[in-house]
Amino acid sequence: MNKIEEVKVNGKRIFIKGGALGYSVVHPIKVDGKINWKNLIAGGSWIKLGILVFIVLIILGFINEHVSMLRMLNTCLELNSFPIHI
């Protein structure tokens, strides 16, 4: 397992981790023994969390629409299976 290294850039602490494809920025949950809630909840970026929530809501909307359409189709087929002749 690769070790996480701390780099200071313009006074900000950035944590990087080396891997097979090079270095990447990591967002550790604990920094200096304290829990960093932003990294725990959002993975380091509130915008990425918002985009993920938006995509999940769109997928749930598609699923809800599909289920509603199937229920309506089932209701229409049940009503038309016994036609009334006058």
Each residue of 22-54: pLDDT tens digit? 877 777 777 777 887 777 787 778 888 899 999
Q: What is the pTM of this model?
A: 0.58
**C-alpha span between 4 and 7 (Å, rounded):** 10
Q: Which helix (H) or strand (E) holds 53?
A: helix 46-80
Cβ atoms < 10 Å from Cβ of 79: 9
75 burial level (CB within 10 Å; 0-12, 13-18, 19+)? exposed
